[in-house]
Every structure is written in C-alpha cells, then in structure tokens.
Amino acid sequence: MDDNKTVNVKTKKKLPLGVKLLLLPFDIVLVLLLVVLLWFAFCFFDRVKPVEALPPDYAVYLRTDSVWDTVEPLLDLDATLIAMTSPEFKDYRDTFLEIKQSKLRNNFFVKTALKRRVDAAVYGYEDDGKLSALCVLDAGIISGAVRLVPYIIPHVKAAAEQIEISVNNHGTFYQLGEAGCFVIKKNLVIFSTSRNLLEQAMTYSNGDLYQKEELEVFKKKLRDPLRILADGRNVLKLVAQMPVSEEDKKNNTPSMLKNYLEMIVPYLSEEEYTSVNFGISESDLNLTISVPMGITVDYVSVDNESPVLNLLEKESQVPSLLPKFADDVQYYTLISAGSLSELRDATVKILPDSKKFLATWNKSDTVSKIVFNTSLDELLFSWTGSEFAIFGIEGKSEPVFALSISDEAKRRQIFDRVFASYIVQSNDSLLVDGVRLPSINMPSFVLSVLQELNINVPHPYYLIKDDFIFLSESPENLVAINSDAKSTKKLSGSENWMKVSSKHSPYSTLSLYYNLERSVPFFIKGNSTMSKILALYNAGRFDLRIKDSMLTVQLQASALELESSQHIPGFPIELENKSNSELIKSNAKKSKTIYWVENGISVNSLDCGKFEKQTFELPEVQYIVAADEATIKANGGEIWAVTKTGVVYLLNSKLEVLNGYPVLSGLSMTCAPFIYKDSLVLIGNDGVMCFVSPNGEIKNLETDVESEIKSTPTVNGDILAFYEKGFFGGIHIYKNLEPVTTEGPFEMEGIAYGSPCVFTAGGKQYTAMITQAGVLYVYDFAGNLMQPFPVTLPGVFFMNVEMADGYLFALSSEGALFRVGLDGKSLRVKIPYFTAKTGHITVCDYDGQTGQEIFVSGDGNSIYGFNSAMEMLPQFPVSGYGKPLFQDLNGDGKNDCLAITFDNKISAANVLR
C-alpha cells in the first residue's frame, strides 16, 4: 500500500450564513404550508356524518351536493321573494335581500365555499307558531377553515355584536337573535330555527335512530341537483299546524287537504319515502310528487268500505275525452277516477262539511222518489260512466260540463221519465246553425246537490255526441263542440298545451289544464304563499295518476305571457280600514319601515324587509311625521303621531310610546305638523308655532301672521317658509326662527295654495309661489322680484310649484304640467285624462343618476313621472294617489315605487329595470 497515495474525500459544502438567512423565510413558509396541509387533511378525515346531526321524524327532507348551484339561481326569482313574505320566512326576508344584492355572489372563494353538501329538514310548528327546521352543511375539504371560526367570532366586533354565545347540555352554540341558532362541530355547520331541535342535533348520535332503509336515503347518490323526500304521516301533522289565512278558512281549503291526507296516509308505504322533484325558473315551474302506496289486494278486500281506497286502487287510464278536445278549448278539468257514485262517496269523506252535503243529498233523494218514483242514485248514476269534465271554449264565457254515457238506453229511459213530469220541462225548439239543442229546467232538488259542489247550471242546454252528454248554459258552446268534432286541429297538438304537457304521461285520474285569464284551479285559489307563487305562471297542467302502486302528482306550468315587469312579489297589500293617501318612510339608517294611518284610529307600520306589520291603536290620530335621525339616535323615537286635539306621541319602531309621552300641545291645528331641526312643530289657528323636542319639552313661537297658516310650512335647512292666506297675507320667510325682513310678507296679487318653494340659484336664495290664477312670483330673500317675474301661466292652480334641476314645475287643475326656467320661458305637457284640483308634486332622485325626477298625482288613481326635460319616465304611470315613496323592495339594488291606491291597498311597482 502506497502511503503517499492521496485519498480524495468529497465533503458537503456548507452554505454561507448570509444565504441561510435569505432562505429562512422560504423555509418557514414551506413548514407553514406543510402544517396547513396536514391540518386540512386531518380535518377532512376527522369528520361527523350529516345524518348524525339530523334528528328523525321530519316531515320534509331536502338534500343537495352543492348549495351554490341549487340556491344561487333562486335569488333572482319572484317566487323566492314571495316565499320570503310568508309568515314562516318573513324574519329572513331582509337578510335574503342583502344576500341578493351582495357583491359576494361573484366572489370565487364564496362560490367555492358554498359548493358543499347540505342536508335540511322541516319538522313542524312549535308552541309559539314558529316553523321548526334544521340545516346541516358539510364543509368537506374546507373543514380546516370552518373549525377555526369559533375561535375567531369573539375577536370580530361585528360578529360579536350579532352573535350571542350560549350553552346547553351538549356544549356551546351561537344564537342569532330571533332568526335561530347554530353550532360548528368538526366538518359540520348546523343551523336551526329551534333551540330544542339544535339540542337534539348536538347529540351527534341520531344515525342510530334511523332504520336501515332510511339510512340508504343519506348514502344514495343524487341524480338531480336537489332531492326532496317526505314522510306522509309527519306531513299530515305539519298541515294540521300550518297557519291559515282568513280567505283559505272561508274556502275550507285546509280542511279539505287535511281530510284527504288523513284518508290516504294509512295506505302509504312504510318502506319508501314520498319523493319530490322540483324545478323552477322565471318562465317555467315543474313539480312531481311520487307517493308509494302500501295497498295490497288482500288488504283492499278486507277494507272495501273505504271509498277513497277504492279509488286509489284503480289504475289510471288515458281519458277518452282528452284526444277529442279541439284546439279552441282554453281550460279543462277532466276526472276519470271512477263512477260518479264512487266519486260521491269519496267526496263525502273529504268535504269539511260532509254532514251538510249528506243532509242535502238525503232530502233530494226523498223528493226524487216522490216526484219520479226513482232514487237520486238511479236518476244520476244508472246511465253515467267514469269520465266527467268541465271545460271552456275560446270566446265563450260559460263553461261546458261533460259526462260519459255508459248505458244510452238507460239514459233515454231516465230522460223520458223526467221530461214526462210536470216539474221538469224540455224545450226542443232551439235550433242553432242547424243543430237542435234541447234544454232542461233543472229540478231544484238536483240543483241544490250540484250547488253544494259549486256547480250551478239551472237551465242548461244539452248535446249527445260520441257517448258523452255535454251541458252548458250557452247553446253556442254546444254548437262549437258539434262543429269541432270534424276539426283536425286538436288541443293536444296546440303549442301552449304541449309546452305544459311535455313531461306528463297520457294516463291520468285527474287532469287540469288552465289559463289564469279564464280559469283558476283549486291549488291557486286562496291567499297562501304557494298560491301566490303558482299564480306567477299563468298556464299549466296538473295531473294525478296511479300506476303500479305509485300515486303521482305532477304540475307543469309556464309564464306564457309574463306578468307585468312592474310586479313586486308580496304586493299589493290590502288594508283592513280606510287610509288616507299618505305613506311615511322611516329616517332610520338601513330601515325599510313605512307608516300610515287607518280610519283615524290607528298608526300602522310595515317592515318591507321582514314583511312584518304592526298596529298601534290611537283614537283620533290625525297626523304622523317621520322623526329625524337625531331623534332616532337620541331615544329611538321613529315616528311622531298627533291627534285631532293636539296630543303628541313619539313612537319607536315597535310602535311603543316613549317615556315622557304623550304631551299636550294645547293647540287647535290648522295644518299638518312638520320637522324643524330635531323638533316636531305644530301650528295653531292664531299662527303660534309649538315646538316639541325629542325629550318632550314644549316651546312656543309667536309669528307675525294676522290670519291663519293653512298649509304645512316648507323647511330648507335653517329656513322656514309659509304662506299666510288673507287680505294682508303673503310669503313669510324665517331664518333661524327670525323673519328675514322687517317689512312684512312678500306680497302677491290673488290667492295661492300650498307653501312657498325655497331654492338656491347662483349662490343666492329665492322663494317662489304661484297664485290660483297662474301668476308665478319669484322673490329673493330681500323681498326683490327676480326678473322677468312675475309671469303668468294659463290655467287654474291648486298647488304650489316645486324646483328640480334649476326649473320650476307647476301643475294646473286641467292636468297641464309646466316647466318654467328662471328666465321666465316655459314648456307645457298635457297629461291625458288627468285633472288636479287636489294632488301633489313630488321631486326626488329616484334612480341615483344625474338629475332629479318629478312625480305628479291628481284627482285620479294614477301617479305620473317625468324627468326635468319633460319626458315621461319608463314604467309610468303607476297606480296610486298622493305622494309616492321609493325604496328597494325586491333586492335588485334599484328603488321601487310605493303608493296607496283608491281601492285601499298599498301598491308597489318595479319602475327601474
């Protein structure tokens, strides 16, 4: 071995300290990224199944694998906005509108975060009438971020103010005021409207309470964006607890639905859920409910006393009358469930007042036996088949009734016996277009039975054709049916019918085709939320069919002619008592509350965000005035209310009287009160002004008027201007409650109405007023007339001018709107069919764009809108009178127009698109 041999040993070079320091931040970032990835990976696998947080015994269950894809398109639907006005959801309406307008809808991270699975369930109503529901969001891959939220909430001021931390037997949860409560558990965010329900969810062991078949529902993959399932028995309980409007009570709609559900629930399959497929857009609505039935042949034979069950066991067929309808049929109700006697027996079980119907039937049966020696059953059922229809023909107002004939010989026998009687007469003399049409004077005892079913045909004509008897009060209908039999154009080939029938099967037990211009089906009648939503789609087809032990209810509807673009869901609102024309808007920030007076006995409010109405009984209330922001901040006083005797109340947003009120002004008022700075000002018949401060203190100001102030003064900052009627009257201008001149009021020749218009032009303040004879005066505050004023406008004027965009606008009693420049030149627009002996000119910037708009109302029920160039605004006129209010009602970020109408409703129109 050579000792001199050198061995090359490779050694690792060490990095210089400076380089290490430069690389240190990158190392830290890499470590942090690794920690974050490990944390998110751990959270993704350390999870709780949604079913563990979902208590059983729900009425309706919903699931989507992407809440964003399912919910986001619904934000812009009128149907969703209507739903948010319902008692069940009105507390969330304001939040819904904020979400609808939020820029976060276009945020990538928000979209990603909401592409999560959601399981939700509706259970029933609690003792306080609140709907009990629960929603479980599975955060999935973003669980790592969600788990940190409970540690962040206490340190975010805005969140801490809105969220109350609470504790129950299972841990900590968060209360969101009256809206509900939520909790975060590993990968789950659980929200509930009920604290009791949330406590059940927080056991996180609900999966053990489900049957094996039920658990499959949670595991099964979705084929559609949304899965809806229902438990028939619990749905029945939900319907029984559901709030009912007075109109629905009057129509007995809830009772009929409840009775029907009570009949079929015992025969529902216990192994399968009822499934619901639902799709909705602005133009189309599709709903399919599939109900698995648990009826067996053996069971039916034992319980053949149930008439409803007897109908449910019958398989649906293709109605023979449907292919015969010509294309001029505009609507129909077609029943092919069974014989009329079977339908009668089932109807008795469903009708809310079945005893009354049975009493009418038994009485009529007795009369029939006496008169015809025939029972009512034989008279009506011995010859009729299993199809019955009501339909309407284009251009004809009266409906047509059709009955299939199962035994023509028996029909002739019955008719011969009936017409041989002196009670019933047939008139064979009517001949229309070559068709002889007999008529029947319907026996009163038969008519009374029909009227119990809302069928009223006292003197129908009839036609026998193609194994059907057609009856109608209009003989022209029957002539059309006879002619249509030869037509090749059928309803089933028409465009409108096909549009709402593309998803339907030809089999049906009950089928309705409707057009809201001609017919209103039973499920749209009433004032319920669902009725209002369905009414958005003005044509549709509703079918009920039974095939292979499956009861299917299907609705396909379309807005073939879309409703007016001015339609605001939830409006109009019918007022209980007569109101004046004045709506008052709250001045509180972010408030969407409006106020009005009804019958001089109550102050009323509507929160247009939550759609919550409140009433404060106040006899002899005459005026209400919105408090200014300073008053609202000082003591929460939002609305002043003044009685005819001058008693002053200050109410908060809940219409509660504030401490220190009411106060007595001691005045007999000559005009409506108003706000000056932060005080309410009342004017007495001697010209005294009474100032009521927010804390209830009263101060009086003597003015220099010698007669009376008939119109509410104009306030512009620290300027107060009013008109004194009388021989020595004129325009009074006060600045900081001191007259601006010592020479008295500015004089005018003639009588005027209203209060002075105060404006600034060229850095100088002016006031303007027009007399009844049309002489327009413009003064500066020194009492000098602006040249070339006064100018005279043709017409008679009962209200003063208003300033907008540097022009004065005047409205004559004949309905002429004038624009007058400060150079005296004028333009004129005549509003058709419009007079204004009473009315208002309202100036505001309703669209947030450059320039102001002018809104005028007169003696009629129309409000017109113009821009300062005298061009009529799009979407105007709208219904209403008095001064309009502008507020965003549907969350599209644009103001809508509110007004009270002559028929005593609060109307709302979408006037900006």
Cα separation, 639 vs 627, in Å, equals: 5
Cα separation, 746 vs 376, in Å, equals: 88
- Average pLDDT (78-91) is 73
Question: Does any domain span residue 30?
Answer: yes
pLDDT digits (tens, 9 = 90+) for 834-849: 889 889 999 999 888 8
**Token output for 407:** 């035994």
Q: Is 478 exposed, middle or buried (0-12, 13-18, 19+ CB in 10 A)?
A: buried
Q: Cα 74 vs. chain centroid, distance in angstroms? A: 14
Cα separation, 401 vs 404, in Å, equals: 10
Chain position carrying tokens 């069971």:
299
Which secondary structure element, helix H or strand E, spans residue 258, and what is its range? helix 253-264
Q: What is the predicted pLDDT for the residue at 387? A: 92
Query: Which of 215-224, 563-572, 718-727, 874-883 is predicted with the least confidence, judged by mean pLDDT?
Result: 563-572
The secondary structure of 77-127 as a DSSP string is -HHHHHHTTSTTTGGGHHHHHHHHH-GGGG-HHHHHHH-SEEEEEEEEE-T
Q: What is the predicted pLDDT for the residue at 800? A: 94
Same domain, 50 and 178: yes
- Would the pLDDT of 858 be above 80? yes
Grade residue 401 by pLDDT with cuts at 50, 70 and 90: very high
Same domain, 288 and 378: yes
Q: Is 543 exposed, middle or buried (0-12, 13-18, 19+ CB in 10 A)?
A: buried
* Domain end position, chosen among 241, 265, 294: 241
Report the CATH number that the domain containing residue 652 is assigned in CATH: 2.40.128.630
pLDDT digits (tens, 9 = 90+) for 861-876: 889 989 888 888 877 8
* Domain end position, chosen among 653, 673, 702: 702
Chain position carrying tokens 């059309």:
480
pLDDT digits (tens, 9 = 90+) for 526-552: 666 767 777 778 788 999 888 887 888
Same domain, 581 and 606: yes
Cα separation, 405 vs 457, in Å, equals: 19
Question: Does any domain span residue 716?
Answer: no
Q: What is the predicted pLDDT for the residue at 68? A: 83
Count the neighbouring beta carbons within 10 Å of the beta carbon of residue 860: 18
Same domain, 358 and 255: yes
Cα separation, 161 vs 175, in Å, equals: 11
Q: What is the pTM of this model?
A: 0.58
- Would the pLDDT of 467 be above 60? yes
Q: What is the percent of the chain where pLDDT is above 70? A: 86
Q: In total, how many domains does the chain have?
A: 4
Same domain, 387 and 451: yes
The torsion angles phi and psi of 752, rounded to 5 degrees, stand at -125, 170
Question: Does any domain span residue 170?
Answer: yes
pLDDT digits (tens, 9 = 90+) for 610-650: 788 899 999 999 999 999 999 999 889 999 999 999 999 99
Question: Does any domain span residue 797?
Answer: no
pLDDT digits (tens, 9 = 90+) for 179-234: 788 999 888 899 998 888 999 999 999 888 888 877 877 777 777 777 788 776 77
Grade residue 405 by pLDDT with cuts at 50, 70 and 90: very high
Question: Dihedral through CA 500, CA 506, CA 511, CA 513, nearest 10?
Answer: 30
- Would the pLDDT of 320 be above 80? yes
In this structure, is the dihedral angle defined by the CA atoms of residues 258, 263, 264 and 269, taken in order, positive or negative?
positive
pLDDT digits (tens, 9 = 90+) for 676-698: 998 999 998 888 899 999 988 99
Same domain, 286 and 405: yes
Same domain, 181 and 253: no
Cα separation, 589 vs 598, in Å, equals: 26
Question: Does any domain span residue 778?
Answer: no
Would you call 78 helix, strand, or coil by DSSP? helix
Q: Are 656 and 615 in contact (CB under 8 A)?
A: no
Cα separation, 316 vs 508, in Å, equals: 5
Query: Which of 144-148, 540-544, 763-767 is predicted with the least confidence, judged by mean pLDDT?
Result: 144-148
CA R_g for the chain = 37
Question: Does any domain span residue 511?
Answer: yes
Same domain, 375 and 505: yes
Same domain, 312 and 365: yes
Would you call 531 helix, strand, or coil by DSSP? helix
Cα separation, 765 vs 747, in Å, equals: 17
Grade residue 143 by pLDDT with cuts at 50, 70 and 90: confident
Higher pLDDT, 1 or 340: 340
- Would the pLDDT of 562 be above 50? no
Highest mean pLDDT among 183-187, 352-356, 517-521: 183-187
Grade residue 831 by pLDDT with cuts at 50, 70 and 90: confident
Opening angle at CA 584, ends 579 and 587, nearest 5:
160
Residues of 118-144 as b/e, b for ≥16 C-beta within 10 angstroms? bbbbbbbbeeeeebbbbbbbbbbebbb
Question: Does any domain span residue 334?
Answer: yes
* Domain end position, chosen among 652, 675, 702: 702
- Would the pLDDT of 407 be above 60? yes
HEC string of 765-817 equals EEEEEEECCCEEEEEECCCCECCCCCEECCCCCCCCCEEECCEEEEECCCCEE
- Average pLDDT (234-242) is 68
Q: Cα 749 vs. chain centroid, distance in angstroms? A: 52
pLDDT digits (tens, 9 = 90+) for 355-395: 777 888 888 888 888 888 888 888 888 999 999 999 988 76
Q: What is the predicted pLDDT for the residue at 668? A: 84
Same domain, 362 and 343: yes
Grade residue 304 by pLDDT with cuts at 50, 70 and 90: very low
Which amino acid, one-letter code, is at 882? G
Question: Which residue range(s) make up the domain with 33?
Answer: 15-40
List all residues 6 or more positions away from 351 whose beta carbon is below 8 Å from its beta carbon.
252, 256, 259, 357
**Token output for 174:** 């968060």
Same domain, 132 and 181: yes
Question: Does any domain span residue 164?
Answer: yes
Q: Which of 474, 449, 321 is nearest to 385 (CA)?
A: 321
Q: What is the predicted pLDDT for the residue at 5? A: 47
What average pLDDT does the chain have?
82
**Token output for 6:** 């050198």
Q: What is the predicted pLDDT for the residue at 269? A: 61
Grade residue 430 by pLDDT with cuts at 50, 70 and 90: low
- Average pLDDT (662-681) is 90
Same domain, 469 and 591: no
The torsion angles phi and psi of 866, rounded to 5 degrees, stand at -135, 155
